[in-house]
Each structure stands twice: as structure tokens, then as C-alpha cells.
């Protein structure tokens, strides 16, 4: 009888040890890290990115990738994720394209000639997940600039010319938010009915952004305006965390083009036929 109770007690001790598992100090290394993803700062930017936007979250280390997606209006304030103990890179991308998986095949977000840059906000950071608990606060930054051209001819520019934006950066790498070099080419669409023409551009590395005027329905370049040259001259910062927007006034008078950037004193005047 005594032997039976001893075996029973021994079995109970073994079962207890198996159950406590990761609570034993010596066995904590195989246990996961519980990473809290804090969305609260992201949600505070909702007026900028729009409630219908989506956040794509990518976690990766040297050996693995883990991805999740949320609609911003259904996004939790906090999300706990179980990850292996390691040093993790956490990338977030906020956009309004629910049908497009930007990060499915890598961290580069680029645009082929003819496509306009999307309104994208992104963040990237490394998180030490070597302990049992860690936290990552998402704070995406604006990765595009909007150029708003005010057409003093009340929409005549888009009717008379094909206006093309041409540059040498075609997107960015979400892993470090650096610009990706490549041809950026987009034909500006019709104005909004009030003489305003808007186009989004990616982060610029050099001052070579051009605004071209082509003959309507023909292949003759009439005039090229070095917009990038004057953006940089006025203090454009390629390394800015959040890229600003710009407002420009365009006016044709007597075969001249007048370009003025909002809040800047200088007005640049070009001859259309030089």
C-alpha cells in the first residue's frame, strides 16, 4: 500500500513538472516571446489616412516572415503576437488598396511607368524579442508628396496639353524607407473642375523631377519645366520622415509659363518656345 502511494506521488510530481513547463527558470529559453503591437498612434492618424484604409504588418528575422492585415476601422488598439525569441524587424504599411498585397514578395514598393504613386504611410523598426515580453509602437510616416498645380487657365492646360511628371525614383523600400531608383512616369489626369491638378510623387533623391508639356494626341514635346530643381532650391529634404505636399501655380501668358510655389516668394518664368 505504501509503495502504491509512493508511485502515485511520484507520478503527480512528474505531471506537475510537465505542466509548469516554461515557468521553470532553466527551461525558459524555448518559450516564445509575447510581442504587443500597439496601434494607438497609427489610429490617431486616421483623419490623414482615411477610415477605410488597411494596415499590413510584416515581422521578419533572418529565417522567417510573418504577416497580418487589418482594416483600419476594425484594427485593435493592441494585438499580442507569439513569436520566437529573436531580434525582429517590424514593418507597417498603411494604404487604401485592399485588393493589393504590397509586401507579399518583398519589401520594395515600386511603380511601373504610367502608374501613380499611392498614398502610403510606412514605418520600420527593430524590436528586441529575446525576453518573454516586448512591445512595438507603430508610427507610420508619409511616403509621398502631393503636387497640386493650380491652373490659372481654369482647366485649359489639361485640355490643350498632355502634362507628364517624370522622375528618377519609382518607389521606396519599406525595410528602411529609402527611395528606390527607377523611372517614374505619369500623365497628369484632368483637373477637379476648379482648375486644380494633383499628382502624387515618391521620395526624391535628386533635383531632376520634370513637368513636361506635350502636344495633345501627338508625340511632340513642347516644353519641360524643372520642378525638382526648384523644390530642392527651396529646401526639399530627401531624408524627411514625413514628406510634405506642395502647391504650385501655373499660368500661360504671352507664350510664357509662370510657376510659383505656395508660400515661396520667388516666381519662375519660362518661355514656352525657347
E strand spans, 16-53:
33-38
Higher pLDDT, 192 or 75: 75
Contact yes or no for 210/224 (Cβ under 8 A): yes
User: In the structure grid, which three cell numbers stand for residue 27, read together?
Assistant: 527551461
Helices of type H across 125-217 = 156-160
For residue 252, the model assigns a pLDDT of 66
CATH of 144-271, one of 3.30.67, 3.40.50, 2.60.40, 3.30.70: 2.60.40
For residue 154, the model assigns a pLDDT of 59
Which pTM does this prediction carry? Answer: 0.80
> pLDDT tens digit string along 88-141?
999 999 888 877 888 877 899 999 999 999 999 999 999 999 999 999 999 999
**Which residue is listed with cell 494604404?**
95
Produce one character per residue of 154-164: b if its CB has 16 or more CB atoms within 10 Å, e if not.
ebebbeebbbb
Higher pLDDT, 249 or 214: 214
Same fold: 28-141 with 144-271: yes
Please determine, for residue 19, whether its predicted confidence score (pLDDT) is greater than 50.
Answer: no
> pLDDT tens digit string along 224-258?
888 888 788 778 899 999 998 888 777 766 566 66
Please state the domain extents for the chain. Answer: 28-141, 144-271
Q: Is 247 exposed, middle or buried (0-12, 13-18, 19+ CB in 10 A)?
A: middle
| Eight-class DSSP state of 116 | P
Please report, rounded to a whole number, the percentage of residues in the chain having pLDDT higher than 70.
Answer: 73
C-alpha to C-alpha distance for 267 and 274, rounded to whole angstroms: 18
Residue 4 dihedral angles phi and psi, to the nearest 5°: -60, -45
Which CATH number applies to 28-141? 2.60.40
Mean pLDDT of the chain: 80
C-alpha to C-alpha distance for 101 and 58, rounded to whole angstroms: 11
Amino acid at each position: 500500500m505504501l509503495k502504491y502511494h509512493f508511485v502515485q506521488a511520484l507520478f503527480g510530481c512528474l505531471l506537475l513538472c510537465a505542466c509548469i513547463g516554461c515557468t521553470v527558470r532553466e527551461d525558459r529559453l524555448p518559450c516564445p516571446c509575447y510581442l504587443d503591437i500597439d496601434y494607438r498612434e497609427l489610429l490617431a492618424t486616421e483623419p490623414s489616412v482615411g477610415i477605410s484604409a488597411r494596415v499590413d504588418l510584416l515581422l521578419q528575422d533572418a529565417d522567417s516572415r510573418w504577416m497580418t492585415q487589418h482594416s483600419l476601422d476594425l484594427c485593435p488598439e493592441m494585438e499580442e503576437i507569439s513569436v520566437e525569441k529573436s531580434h525582429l524587424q517590424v514593418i507597417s504599411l498603411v494604404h487604401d488598396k485592399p485588393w493589393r498585397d504590397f509586401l507579399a514578395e518583398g519589401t520594395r514598393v515600386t511603380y511601373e511607368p504610367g502608374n501613380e504613386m499611392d498614398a502610403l504611410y510606412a514605418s520600420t523598426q527593430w524590436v528586441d524579442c529575446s525576453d518573454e515580453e516586448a512591445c512595438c509602437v507603430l508610427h507610420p510616416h508619409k511616403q509621398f508628396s502631393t503636387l497640386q498645380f493650380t491652373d490659372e487657365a481654369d482647366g485649359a492646360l489639361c485640355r490643350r496639353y498632355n502634362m507628364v511628371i517624370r522622375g528618377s525614383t519609382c518607389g521606396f523600400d519599406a525595410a528602411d524607407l529609402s527611395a528606390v531608383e527607377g523611372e517614374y512616369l505619369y500623365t497628369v489626369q484632368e483637373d477637379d473642375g476648379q482648375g486644380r491638378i494633383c499628382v502624387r510623387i515618391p521620395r526624391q533623391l535628386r533635383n531632376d523631377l520634370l513637368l513636361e508639356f506635350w502636344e495633345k494626341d501627338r508625340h511632340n514635346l513642347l516644353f519641360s519645366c524643372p520642378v525638382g530643381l526648384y523644390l530642392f532650391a527651396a529646401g526639399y529634404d530627401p531624408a524627411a520622415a514625413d514628406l510634405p505636399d506642395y502647391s504650385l501655380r501655373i499660368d500661360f501668358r504671352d507664350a510664357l509659363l509662370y510657376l510659383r510655389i505656395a508660400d515661396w516668394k520667388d516666381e519662375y518664368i519660362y518661355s514656352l518656345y525657347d
